[in-house]
Structure 1
Amino acid sequence: MKAIIIAAGHGSRLLPLTLETPKCLVPVGGRAILDHQLRAIEAAGIEAVTVVGGYRIEQIGEHLAARPGNGGGRLTTELVFNPFWAAGSSIGSVWAARAALTGAFVLMNGDTIFDPAVLAAAVTDARRGVKLVVDRLDAAEPDDMLVAVTDGRVRAVGKGLDPDRATHRSLGIVASTGGGAYADALRAVIGGENGIHAFHHAIVDRLAGVDAVAAVAIPAGAPWQEIDRPDDIERWRRERGS
């Protein structure tokens, strides 16, 4: 299995922290967001990572090259450039990493911190095909990627999903055991009208329409936090004590 991290965007809502630093390298609890994710990836037994960069990608490359054990450790990293990072949405980064979609993979947004147990749940889930990691929705927050789940299956995904239909929120983590379904859906969505401006969750939503996505619930008590604004960093520090 290969991991793919989408880390191309500017992160304008984190300004001024991202004025000269890519969002994935913003420190949270003494560690860059990217390093939180790489730690979880290693703990899940994954040995290869593709990082998709865009904004200030040279800094991401320098950070990966400076990692302890780089070149000799178990985890190998590859950096891929998304040339459309400033013009499109997150689906462009998935397209830039499409070569990594031929086998088993786990894909994640580059701005989310989570306990390693969250990623392990996605990797070890025994169901075949495409899976989306979700958390039970108590009260929707602004910019939540809403998910409708019934009987362990994802039925619909989207920020514009009817709140009365939404049961969960997405963590932005997609796993696949292989096969061509996800790549086929990617081509269909990005090739559609305004496809380059779609969130990558539109791929999952398309597959959900044909009952092709399983919902993976996060383990009880496993923390996670999307880092969109400076307040999110403070919330992680406050709740985790770091």
Structure 2
Amino acid sequence: MRAIIIAAGHGSRLLPLTLTTPKCLVPVGGRAILDHQLDAIAAAGIETAVIVGGYRIGQIAEHLAARSAREIATELVFNPFWSAASSIGSVWAARAHLAGPFALMNGDTVFDADVMRSAVEAAPSGVTLMVEALGAAELDDMLVAVERGRVLAVGKTLEGATHRSLGIVLSRGGDAYARALRLVIGEDEGIHAYHHAIVDRLAKADAVAAVTIPADGHWQEIDRPEDIDRWRREHGGG
């Protein structure tokens, strides 16, 4: 299985931290977000990661070059449309890597290694979305409706939501996800869609399984400076 990390955007909500630094390199608990992810991915047994960059991609290249390749090999892919398209543009830039098994994730999320490991181990055949049972929805949550282990719908505003997405999509192989990508991005204003719209389209065909985060799993989307403080506070500074 190959990891695909979407890390092309500017991260304007993290300003001024992203004024001169790509979002994936912002430090959280003493380590760049990207390092948190690559270390967790490697611990889950994934040996290759494709990072899709855009904003200040040169810094990402330098950071990857300085990392040891012993645990995980990395490849950097450029998304030239990062400032014009939504996250689906980065998935499109990585479309050559969608035929085989993959674990696709947002480049602004930190998580325990056990979260990634459980996602890889529990994902059945086909496409899977990693979710967490919904308590009080937070700003910018990607909401998910789940029934009997299947994803019914995904969206920012969603009636009947039961879970929220961690932004981790897995595929055991096949072309279902790539075909849905082409359909969604080809629609009017398709380039402005969130990449979760691909999962939503597949869910309408009853083609997406839901795997719930372990009870002791910990993750945090880093959208704002207070999210960094929350991770440090709840995770002991790690």
Q: TM-score range by the shorter chain?
A: over 0.9
* Equivalent in the alignment of 2:57: 57
Q: Measure, in 1, the Cα distance between the counterparts of 2:57 and 2:131.
A: 29
Among 98, 102, 110, the alignment partner of 1:113 is 110
TM score, norm. by length of structure 2: 0.98
1:160 aligns with 2:153: no
Structure 1 residue aligned with 2:82, among 78, 81, 85?
85
Kindly provide the amino acid, as one letter, of the partner of residue 170 in structure 1. Answer: S
1:117 to partner: Cα distance: 1.0
Which secondary structure does the structure 1 equivalent of 2:9 belong to? coil
Give the secondary structure class of the aligned counterpart of 1:122. Answer: helix
State the 1:120 CA deviation: 1.0
DSSP 3-state at the match of 1:117: helix
Alignment of structure 1 residues 178-217 onto 2, 5 Å: 178-217=173-212
Calculate the aligned-residue CA RMSD, in Å.
Answer: 0.7
2: CA distance between counterparts of 1:160 and 1:145? Answer: 8
Unaligned stretches of 5+ residues in structure 2: none
Number of matched pairs: 237
String of CA shifts for 1:24-78, please: whole Å, max 9, x gaps: 00000000000000001100111111000000000000000000x23xx141100
Q: Which runs of 4+ in 1 moved over 4 A?
A: none
| Residue 236 of structure 1, aligned match among 228, 231, 234 | 231
Equivalent residue in structure 2 for 1:220, among 215, 220, 238? 215
The 3-state SS of whatever aligns with 1:52 is strand
SS class of match (2:140)? coil
In percent, how many aligned pairs have the same letter? Answer: 73
**SS of the residue aligned with 1:49?**
strand
1:8 matched to 2:8: yes
Aligned partner of 2:27 in structure 1 is: 27
Q: 1:66-91 CA deviation, whole Å, 9 max, x = no partner?
A: 00x23xx1411000000110001000
Equivalents in 2 of 1:110, 1:74: separation in Å?
Answer: 19
**CA–CA separation in structure 2 for the residues paired with 1:147 and 1:126:** 17
Unpaired stretches in structure 1, ≥5 consecutive residues: none
Partners of 1:15 and 1:45 in 2: CA distance = 34
Residue 173 of structure 2 is aligned to residue 175 of structure 1: no
Distance 1:126 1:201 in 2: 17
TM-superposed deviation, 1:126: 4.9
Aligned 1:139-154 pairs, distance under 5 A:
139-154=136-151
TM superposition score normalised by structure 1: 0.97
Deviation string for 1:157-188 (max 9, x for gaps)? 000212xx000000000000000000000000
> Using the alignment, how far apart are the partners of 1:65 and 1:179 within structure 2?
32
